[in-house]
Each structure stands twice: as C-alpha cells, then as structure tokens.
C-alpha cells in the first residue's frame, strides 16, 4: 500500500500511558522470504509504549497485584529481570506512582540500565556469572529486608501468560481473520508463547505453537544450561509460566544465526528488532521451508526494538 492511501483512524484518548499497550501490527516479510512458499508475518511488539512485549506483562502484573490487594501506594516493587521487564515495570510504576527496584545481571545491555533509571527506578546490578538465578536471589534478599515490598514474580505469576491469552493471541487471530497456522516465539519466561497458544488453540484445532531457545543453553530440549548471547531468552531454567503442554515444538537457534538474522531484518526489511527477535525469525524462516508448511501462515513474535542492543559489541561486529 502506498503511503498516500493510508487512512487516519480515530483513536480514543488514553487516560494514561499504560492504556496504550497492545494492538501491535503484523507485517509481512518480503525480501527475507524470497524462494520460500509460505506467508511469514512478524508481530512488532516494539510498537508498545516503551518498545517491548514486556510492556503488556508489566501492566498486567501491577494491575493484578492492585486488584488482589497485595500492593498499595507505599509498596516497593522488586523484580529480577533480564532487562525488558525491568524497563516495562519502570514505565508502569512511574505512571502509577509506585517505588521500584530492578535487579539486573550486569551482563545485559547498557541501554536497559539507562532506561530503567530514566523512569526513576532504583537499579541493582548482580554478577554476570550468576545470571538470572543470581538476580532472583538478590531480589529475595531485598524483599526480606525492605518492609512492605513485593516481588511480582514474572517467572511464576499467571498474570504473565494471561495477558497474552487475553490480548496478544486474540490480536493475531483478529488481524489474520483466523488464518494463522503457526506462531513462533522465543522463550524467556515462556509467558508470551504460552498465552498465545492458549488463545488460538481454543479457536483452531490444527494450530501449532513453536518455541525457540538458545542452542548454547538447551534446557528444554536437552536439559542442559549454558552461557549464550541471545539476551532475553533461555534463562537456564524452565519457568512456571511456560506450559509445555500447549507448545507443540521447541527449536534451538545458534547465537550467530540470531545475530545475523537481526541484522538482515534491519537491512533487508527495514525492521529494527532485538536479538531474541532475530532468533524467532530465523526459526520461523527455517520452519517455513519445511514441505508440510507450504502455503501456510506463520507469525514470529518480535519481542522488542533493536535500539536496546546498539552497544552490544558482538552484534555490531556483524555489520561494521
């Protein structure tokens, strides 16, 4: 569609920034799918207010805690995270007036740290060698130390997959008129792909949900954990928010393949996405090449924006 044909649609005025989450666009891949006889779409979660799929989760976690009476205006929210949930909680806490402490392994990008701080949250860094488990341990220590504090538990809280069942999955169904065969999503907490699978499988018996994990840390497919470079996925354990009963397949992606696909998305499709998005698209393209998927519609969920990774040296080495 030419730009002159774009319609201006009236939208309601949001009462606050948290009401702008969701309804992110689906975009067809063109140049990356040359020679592939399947329809590959990407869901751009970077169109959320602070540019990631975790914006949905952050608002859901806080509002669930509000409804259940677990937090009040004097509560300090604490959360261990690989970064995007921290940024998302920081924006939501700022909008709603809550104090927030984010616990982040120091190995994650500098952009994440700065974004957490600009929203006014406190940032606590933990050793890179300890990964997410180290951040969780520090969060638990702070929770015991700080009166009237709470850990929202994105790795355990059912409000995580529920928001994707209520919104993300249904958005995909609506935007494709129900014509979606496969959704591919990289697995961190697993809430995104679990919620999407729950929503779509209620409407389509033959739908498949496929998860992606880092080849260097195949905890789901092989029971092994290890260090890897795909920030935001494969934390080294299987979170309670991942329901493997609704996931039809989990595939692994090498760090370099994720990185190269991230660059290819930018340079061939004009889509600036994060490294985990690169892993999801790489997997989606490989899945699209399977003979049994000829003519099918495959959606890859792109979790965030590539602006959060411009300081990541190994990624920049691929395009400089």
Q: Which of 151, 181, 214 is the last residue of a domain?
A: 151
In this predicted structure, the answer to whether residue 54 has a pLDDT above a threshold of 90 is yes
Looking at the fold, whether 254 and 310 belong to one and the same domain comes out as yes
- Torsion angle defined by CA atoms of residues 287, 292, 298 and 304, in that order, rounded to the nearest 10 degrees: -10
Band (164; pLDDT cuts 50, 70, 90): very high
Average pLDDT over every residue of 135-159: 97
Q: Which of 92, 121, 151 is the last residue of a domain?
A: 151
Question: What pLDDT score was predicted for residue 25?
Answer: 98
Same domain as 238, residue 106:
no
Check if the beta carbon of residue 283 is closer than 8 Å to that of residue 300.
yes
Residue-wise pLDDT tens digits, 60-100? 999 999 999 999 999 999 999 878 999 999 999 999 999 99
Per-residue confidence band for 317, with pLDDT thresholds at 50, 70 and 90: confident
Same domain (yes/no): 216, 288: yes
Residue 266 belongs to a domain: yes
> Could you tell me the residue range of the domain that residue 105 belongs to?
54-151
Do both 226 and 85 map to the same domain? no
Least confident piece of the model among 41-55, 126-140, 167-181, 306-320: 306-320
Residue length, the chain?
Answer: 320
pLDDT digits (tens, 9 = 90+) for 200-255: 999 999 999 999 999 999 999 999 999 999 999 999 999 999 999 999 999 999 99
Q: What is the pTM of this model?
A: 0.94
The answer to whether residue 230 sits within a structural domain is yes
From 280, 272, 284, 281, select the one nearest 310 (Cα to Cα): 272
Whether residue 171 is found in the same domain as residue 138: no
Are both 38 and 127 inside the same structural domain? no
- Residue 310 placed within a domain: yes
Residues 79 and 216 in one domain: no
- CA 276/CA 214 separation, integer angstroms: 9
Q: Give CA–CA dist 214/283, Å, rounded.
A: 11
Q: What is the pLDDT of residue 83?
A: 82
Report the distance separating Cα 236 and Cα 211, nearest Å. Answer: 15
Question: Which CATH number fits the domain that encloses residue 106?
Answer: 3.40.50.1100
Active site residue 260: no
For 107-130, the pLDDT digits (tens) are 888 898 999 999 999 999 999 999
Same domain, 135 and 272: no
Q: What is the pLDDT of residues 3-30, one digit of tens each?
A: 777 888 888 999 999 999 999 999 999 9
Give the angle subtended at the CA of 194 by the CAs of 192 and 196, to the nearest 5°.
70
Catalytic residue, from 276, 277, 279, 296: name it.
276
The number of domains in the chain is: 2
Q: Average pLDDT, stretch 147-157?
A: 96
The predicted pLDDT at position 5 comes to 78
Residue 135 falls inside a structural domain: yes
Domain final residue, candidates 151, 172, 197: 151
In a shared domain, residues 183 and 144? no
The pLDDT value given to residue 318? 84
For the chain, what is the mean pLDDT?
96
Catalytic residue among 43, 54, 170, 225: 54
| Out of 81-85, 181-185, 278-282, least confident range | 81-85
* 309 and 270 part of one domain: yes
- Assigned domain for 184 exists: yes
- Return the pLDDT at 112: 87
Q: Is 156 among the domain residues?
A: no
One domain for residues 172 and 26: yes
Q: Strands, E, within the chain: which ranges?
A: 26-28, 39-44, 76-80, 99-105, 122-126, 149-151, 182-186, 208-214, 249-253, 297-302
16, part of any domain: yes
Answer yes or no: 277 catalytic.
no
Residue 269 is assigned to a structural domain of this protein: yes
Residue 205 and residue 142 in one domain: no
């Amino acid at each position: 569609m030419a730009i002159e044909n774009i319609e201006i649609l009236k939208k309601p005025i949001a009462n606050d920034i948290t009401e702008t989450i969701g309804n992110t666009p689906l975009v067809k891949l063109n140049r990356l799918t040359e020679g592939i006889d399947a329809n590959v779409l990407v869901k751009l979660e970077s169109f959320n207010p602070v540019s990631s799929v975790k914006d949905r989760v952050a608002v859901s976690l806080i509002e669930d805690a509000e409804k259940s009476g677990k937090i009040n205006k004097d509560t300090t929210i604490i959360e261990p995270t690989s970064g995007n949930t921290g940024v998302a909680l920081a924006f939501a806490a700022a909008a709603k007036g809550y104090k927030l402490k984010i616990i982040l392994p120091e190995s994650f990008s500098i952009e994440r740290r700065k974004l957490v701080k600009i929203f006014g949250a406190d940032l606590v860094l933990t050793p890179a060698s300890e990964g997410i488990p180290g951040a969780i341990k520090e969060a638990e220590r702070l929770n015991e130390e700080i009166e009237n504090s709470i850990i929202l538990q994105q790795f355990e809280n059912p409000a995580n997959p529920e928001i994707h069942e209520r919104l993300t999955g249904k958005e995909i169904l609506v935007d494709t008129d129900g014509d979606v065969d496969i959704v591919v999503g990289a697995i961190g907490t697993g809430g995104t792909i679990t919620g999407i699978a729950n929503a779509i499988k209620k409407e389509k018996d033959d739908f498949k949900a496929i998860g992606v994990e880092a080849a260097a840390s195949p905890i789901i497919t092989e029971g092994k954990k290890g260090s890897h470079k795909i920030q935001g996925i494969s934390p080294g354990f299987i979170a309670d928010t991942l329901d493997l009963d609704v996931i039809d397949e989990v595939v692994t992606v090498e760090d370099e393949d994720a990185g190269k696909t991230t660059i290819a998305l930018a340079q061939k499709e004009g889509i600036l996405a994060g490294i985990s998005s690169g892993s999801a698209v790489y997997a989606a393209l490989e899945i699209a090449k399977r003979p049994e998927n000829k003519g099918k519609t495959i959606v890859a969920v792109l979790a965030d924006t590539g602006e959060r990774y411009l300081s990541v040296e190994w990624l920049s080495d691929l395009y400089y």
